[in-house]
Structure formats: C-alpha cells, structure tokens
Amino acid sequence: MTKNVKEVLTDCTLCYHSCGTKVTVEDGKAIKIKGLESHPLNRGMLCPKGRAALDNIYDPDRLQYPMKKFNSGFKRITWDQALTEIAEKLLTLKKEFGPAVLGVFSGSIGVENLEMAGLAHRFEAVFGSPNFFSVESICYRMRIRTRQITFGKYPAEELDSNLYILWGHNPQESDFPLLLALKKNLKKGAKIVVIDPKRISLADQAEMYLKIRPGTDGALALAMIHVIIQEKLYDIDFIDKYTTGFDKLVSHIQQYTPEWAEKITWVPAEMICKLARLFAKTKGASIYQGTCTQDQTANGTQNSRAFSILQIITGNINNHGGWVIGPGLPLGNIGMGVEEKPLGADRFPLFYEIRGKKSHFGVVTCVPESIPEKIKAFFVIGGNPVVSMADSNAFTEAFKRLNLLVVHDLFMTETGELAHYVLPACSHLEKWGVAYTYNVCHGLPYLMLRKKAIETLYESWSEWKLFTELAKKLGIGDKFPWQSEEELIAFELEPTGLTFDELLNEKPEGAFFKEKIYGMKAEGFPTPSRKIEIYSETLAQIGFDPLPTYLEPKRSPMSSPMLLKKYPLILSTGNRNRYYTHGQFRRVKSLQDKSPEPEAEIAPVTALTYSISDGDDVIIETNRGVVKMKVQVSERVAEGVVLVPHGWSGEANANLLTDTQCREPIMGYPEVKALLCAMRKA
C-alpha cells in the first residue's frame, strides 16, 4: 500500500526563538524534522534540541490521561471527572474567599507558546482573579519595562551588528539565531566583546574579553558612560535632537570613575576605558545583555537603564546594528486583565504599571509567602515552578499548603508530583498556534502559522480545549467563545492583515508582518517629553533613582562580610545548556548522551583552595539549602566564582540554593546571579 506522506512547514517551539522547521508526516506520524531553509532566523539549521524534537514528542513517558492524587498515589480518571471536581472546588473556594484566591502560572511564556500563556491569562481573569504569574516576573520583562520608561517603546538589539557586546549572554548555548548571525557577520568584519565571569568560547574570537565579578555589571556600565562623557565621545547631535536630561547625567556620572569601577567589578580601569572608546567609536554597535542575566541581580533595572543610556549617548538607536524600535506586533489579544492589582503590584509598582500602562502580571517571588492566606488554588500551565523559580524550598512548602493544585503538562514534573490533579497536554505539533519571532529574536517581525501536523496523542488536550471545557463547568463558557482552535487562531491573526487560510495555503513558510523602519519619526518618542528620557521622571516619582546608579548584590563579599565567613564563594546560577531548555528534554537519549549530568564550574585556583579535583562530586551550600553535583574545573572560570546550571531536578536543583527574599528592589526579580555559597567535596 502506498504511504500517505506530507510535509508540514511549522515552527520548532522548543524554545522562544521559534525557528522554522519542515516536518515529514507519514501515515499520521511525524518521522523527520529539518530546518526550514527559507526561515529568516535559522535558514535551514536547527540546534541540537530542535533536531531531537520528535524524540520528545513521542517519548513513552508522555502523560497519557488525567490523573488524580489519592493517598496511595496518582490514579487515572476521566477528563469529565477531573474538570467537574476541579470546577466544584474552585467555586467553593471562590464563594468563601473571593476570586483572587486563584493563582495561575504559565512557564516559558510568549513567543513560543502564545496560546498557552494567553488562554491561561484569560482564564484567570474571567474567573475574576488578578493573580497571573509567569516567567515574565523573573525574566526579560524587566528590560522591556525599563526601555519603555526610557524610550516610551521597546527597542531591540538587531541580529546583524558591527559590534556585539555579549554582556552576560552566551549565544552558543542560549541564542542559536544570534549565533548564526554572529558567525556570518564576523566574516564581514564585525567585532565581539565578551563581558562574563566565564571566558566563553566565543571570547576566543573576541576583540576584548572582560572578566567581571558577577552582579557588578552596573558599575562597569556607569564607568563606561563616565569615560564617554569625560572624553567627549558622545554623539552630541543625537543627544540634542532626541533626548532630555543629558546635562543632569553629566554631573551625576562624575563619581563613577573607571578606578571606582575596577575595585567593584575586577575589570582593570584601562580595559574599561578601552571598551568605552571602542563602543563609542563604532556606529551600529549593540549591547546584547543576557536575556535574564542582568535582570536577576540586585541592580537589574538600573543595569538596563545604564545599557540604554550607553546606546543613546552614542547614537546607536534606530540605526542598523544598534537598538531598533520595531513596528509592534498587531495580534488579537486573547489574554485579558482585571481591574484589581495582582500580588506584588503595590510593592513593585513599576513592574505593574508605567504611566498608566498596565502589565497584568503578578510578581512570582511573592507567591510562596502568599499561600495560603491569599492564594489557595493554583494552576500551572506549562511550567515547573518548583524547579524553575527561585527558592524551591519555599515553593515546595507553599504548594503543600494549597487546597487545590492543578498541573497541565506533557510530562510528570516535580511540580506535578505535588498536584492534586495532573492533566496531559498536547505538544506543539498536535495543535494550532501563531508562531512569531519578535522581541527576544532581535526584533525580527516574522510570523507563521503553527500547524497541527499530527493528531493529538493519547488523551492529551490543548490549552484551548482545557480552558473552554473547564469554563463551561464553571458557568462561564461564554467567555471562551471560539468554537475551534482554528477560530481562535483566526481571531489572533485578524489585526495582522494575514489570514489563517493565507498562512496555511499561500505562505506556509511564514511572512514578515510589517516592515522595520530605521531612523527617527517626526513625532518623537511616546514619552511625556516626546524625547528619550535619560533622566527619568517616571522613576523619580516612585522614589527610585532617575539616573542610573549601582547597588551591590545583597549577598556579596562587599555587602555581607559576615556571611562571607561561612559562604566564601560567589555563586551565579542558570548558565544555559544548548541541549536542554530549562528542565525539559532530560529524557531524550541523544541529548542525554551529550550532556549526561549537571556540572558546577570553578577555576583551578578555587579547586585547589578547597581540595577539589575535576570530576569530583561536590556539595554546594547557601543559607537556603544544598545541592550535590559534579564539578568541572576550568581555566575559563573566574577565581572565587561558582557557576551552577539550573533545570536539573532532585538534589542537583540549583534553586535549592536561591532565595525569594533576595530581590531586586524595583521590579522584585530574584537575585540568582550573584549570591554567596560554600563548596566542599561530597
């Protein structure tokens, strides 16, 4: 019999980059996956995770049916029983305590899984709760908020640049599209600078490598601004025409000399001067701040402000290779917010609201302390907060106090183990979606239809089906008006001018949804002054420094000398691993072979001091807990620094070491890049 074979062009979805793929489906089974040549991000290439996507989808450990926890463990139940019981419980809790008693968390949110996050958000809002949480309150949104404060809009660093400042960002592990672009542009004469406590392999091709103490990037940035101003290397035309507050910056920055920064950052003053000059003299230069690295430090928001000011005073805004304000993504909004403020909004007001513009996310570091007084029911839709959020101990203890915990995932996770109900989710090849590459993909305004290439496996449901059916049980079915996934996607696409049918039949490979426009607009910037705000009234009004400043990590050799006696090493957690996305894909054999176990990285001198050898099992300890893993001793790592990867479960879970109470003061992000720890041989 002839086989029924089709080729489906869709996106990868295994991380937010959303590369294009070509999937061969034979008699209903996906049998081959390749990179899509015409896709502007990955041009036919796939990273190791992308190449192993089908092994993940057809993993025999996939959750197959809904399960309920009994005293004897999890048992299979029907979807109908699960949703009926969950709805009953939710309604009882709502009646007694009000709707805000429900918290909803969605993991790696956004580009890669718009419907997952959007529908979870909608569900929480139509139930009446403001408490939606996501990785956005630990990752990336801080920089969006900060750039919105400064520019009114969000300028993104481009894929093609003349000078790539990799500032706590390692594309080799975490940013495959940028790695491809970087390699191409290196051949054309582009330069790289690496600022990192680890001499990452790209540093070998770099113009400069700056070995920095974790958590001190703000001091380096301030000193660079100092040099650029002192040596008059700034772009005065740009500053005069488009900015306000430069005069105030000039006097403010006098205190931040390279010598001052050298003591804090470990970077020699002359290197700071050299980098400042290189940056200021290159047009089309761009700072690629770590996607979350800079956010997860005490000085996070002010780091982002300082990076913005470096781009501004050198005129590297809206030019090729600098930071460019894109055309905006005109999608139909399936999520929604409620009037009431979410948890954390009072304490971290700029994360929630900027000049009347609300961002309907709660601050996730506030979750453990709010259970059970404020939150009694919690949904986790595609995330593993017990492993991925800072302070696993606090999350685990808090989740045990919940009246209801529901997890929707493809696999059993450590969060799932604590749940009352675990519900099986579809993979991206089993449902329809919108795939777009945008902010995190360097402002590339490209869109494609994520196609349902295969039928749903087992009894797994998409988020559309889960929330539509659960809403019916709750008596709010009308709030999920879309009769099918296709209808939902058509709604999202409407404002783009591209239709579902067009993207399915005429442009299966995707399309640019708008053109990127360089240069300045006559009407200026959407800030109160219509200019780029070097001096920020918005920050001043809430009582924060209106010009960038530097704050030491809460736990550091300088700020906590007492703690240093017990915890003498500097800990940075969460360096990416090209074979995994956070806690995912650990079951995939081909990836396991490449990266079989977690490894903490330290310098040879550190190893010698603590009598540790390469390959030893070590115990790493902080005030919050201990982890055990292997150690890799490497010349590439700065002395006195311990780099611990995240996403590993059990005794190697890095977030056993981190602390929800150690937070950046403006947006409430956890400080996980600069803590203190001790290390010993296991």
Per CB under 6 A, residues contacting ligand MGD are 15, 107-108, 113, 116, 135, 138-139, 167-170, 173-174, 195-198, 200, 212, 214-215, 217, 290-293, 297, 381-385, 388, 408-411, 413, 425, 428, 572-578, 580-584, 643, 646-647, 654-655, 658, 672-674
Choose among ligand SF4, Mo ion, ligand MGD, none what residue 14 binds, the Cβ cut-off being 5 to 8 Å by kind.
Answer: ligand SF4
Taking the least distance from each CB to ligand SF4, the nearer of 49 and 451 is 49
Choose among ligand SF4, Mo ion, ligand MGD, none what residue 19 binds, the Cβ cut-off being 5 to 8 Å by kind.
Answer: ligand SF4
Matching residue, tokens 């529901």: 406
Stretch that binds ligand SF4, among 12-20, 83-91, 183-191, 669-677 (CB under 6 A): 12-20
User: At 158, which amino acid appears?
Assistant: E
Residue 88 tokens read as 């009953």
CA–CA separation, 103 and 87 (whole Å): 14
- The 3-class SS string of 295-319 reads CCCCCHHHHHHHHHHHHHHCCCECC
Selected from 8, 9, 17, 22, the binder of ligand SF4 by CB under 6 A is: 17
Closest residue to bound ligand SF4 by CB? 50
Matching residue, tokens 């994360």: 351
Taking the least distance from each CB to ligand MGD, the nearer of 150 and 174 is 174
Rounded to a whole number of angstroms, the minimum distance from the CB of residue 480 to Mo ion is 28
CB neighbour list of residue 322: distance below 8 Å, 6 or more residues apart: 157, 158, 161, 283, 284, 285, 286, 311, 315, 316
Rounded to a whole number of angstroms, the minimum distance from the CB of residue 95 to ligand MGD is 28
**Stretch 149-188 residues interacting with Mo ion (CB under 5 A):** none
626-633/617-621 β-pairing: antiparallel
Choose among Mo ion, ligand SF4, ligand MGD, none what residue 50 binds, the Cβ cut-off being 5 to 8 Å by kind.
Answer: ligand SF4
Selected from 8, 9, 10, 14, the binder of ligand SF4 by CB under 6 A is: 14
Rounded to a whole number of angstroms, the minimum distance from the CB of residue 179 to ligand SF4 is 9
Stretch 472-491: interaction string toward ligand SF4, x if CB under 6 A: --------------------
CA–CA separation, 315 and 562 (whole Å): 44
User: At 219, which amino acid appears?
Assistant: A
Rounded to a whole number of angstroms, the minimum distance from the CB of residue 280 to ligand MGD is 20
The residue count for binding ligand SF4 (CB under 6 A) is 12
Taking the least distance from each CB to ligand MGD, the nearer of 24 and 172 is 172
- Taking every pair of Cα atoms in the chain, the longest distance, rounded to a whole number of angstroms, is 80
Choose among ligand MGD, Mo ion, ligand SF4, none what residue 18 binds, the Cβ cut-off being 5 to 8 Å by kind.
Answer: ligand SF4
Taking the least distance from each CB to ligand SF4, the nearer of 49 and 143 is 49
Taking the least distance from each CB to ligand SF4, the nearer of 17 and 213 is 17
**Is 111 a residue that touches ligand SF4 (CB under 6 A)?**
no
Q: Looking at the chain, how many residues does it have?
A: 682
Angle between helix axes 463-473 and 114-127 (nearest 10 degrees) is 10
Choose among ligand MGD, ligand SF4, Mo ion, none what residue 12 binds, the Cβ cut-off being 5 to 8 Å by kind.
Answer: ligand SF4
CB neighbour list of residue 35: distance below 8 Å, 6 or more residues apart: 19, 20, 21, 22, 42, 43, 44, 45, 46, 50
**Stretch 122-141 residues interacting with Mo ion (CB under 5 A):** 139
Choose among ligand MGD, ligand SF4, Mo ion, none what residue 636 binds, the Cβ cut-off being 5 to 8 Å by kind.
Answer: none
CA–CA separation, 297 and 204 (whole Å): 26
Rounded to a whole number of angstroms, the minimum distance from the CB of residue 22 to ligand SF4 is 12
208-210/191-195 β-pairing: parallel
Rounded to a whole number of angstroms, the minimum distance from the CB of residue 449 to ligand MGD is 16
Concatenated DSSP letters of 65-130 = S-EEEETTEEEE--HHHHHHHHHHHHHHHHHHH-GGGEEEEESS-SGGGHHHHHHHHHHHHHHT--
CB 155 within 8 Å of CB 127: no
Taking the least distance from each CB to ligand MGD, the nearer of 292 and 534 is 292
Taking the least distance from each CB to ligand MGD, the nearer of 35 and 385 is 385
Taking the least distance from each CB to ligand SF4, the nearer of 163 and 410 is 410
Stretch 163-182: interaction string toward ligand SF4, x if CB under 6 A: -------------x------
> CA 252 → CA 19, 246, 406, distances in Å?
43, 10, 50
Closest residue to bound ligand MGD by CB? 574
CB 618 within 8 Å of CB 680: yes
Rounded to a whole number of angstroms, the minimum distance from the CB of residue 572 to ligand SF4 is 23
CA–CA separation, 88 and 334 (whole Å): 25
**Stretch 253-292 residues interacting with Mo ion (CB under 5 A):** 292
Choose among Mo ion, ligand MGD, ligand SF4, none what residue 394 binds, the Cβ cut-off being 5 to 8 Å by kind.
Answer: none
Residue 502 tokens read as 């067009």
Region of residue 549 (left: phi > 0; alpha: psi -120 to 50; beta: else): beta
CA–CA separation, 128 and 338 (whole Å): 7
Choose among ligand SF4, ligand MGD, Mo ion, none what residue 196 binds, the Cβ cut-off being 5 to 8 Å by kind.
Answer: ligand MGD
User: At 453, which amino acid appears?
Assistant: A
Taking the least distance from each CB to ligand MGD, the nearer of 127 and 246 is 127
CA–CA separation, 491 and 672 (whole Å): 39
**Stretch 23-82 residues interacting with ligand SF4 (CB under 6 A):** 42, 46-47, 49-50
Region of residue 415 (left: phi > 0; alpha: psi -120 to 50; beta: else): alpha
Taking the least distance from each CB to ligand MGD, the nearer of 244 and 655 is 655
Question: In angstroms, what is the C-alpha Rg of the chain?
Answer: 24
Where do contacts with Mo ion occur on this chain (CB under 5 A)? 139, 292
Interface ranges with ligand SF4 (CB under 6 A) = 12, 14-15, 17-19, 42, 46-47, 49-50, 176
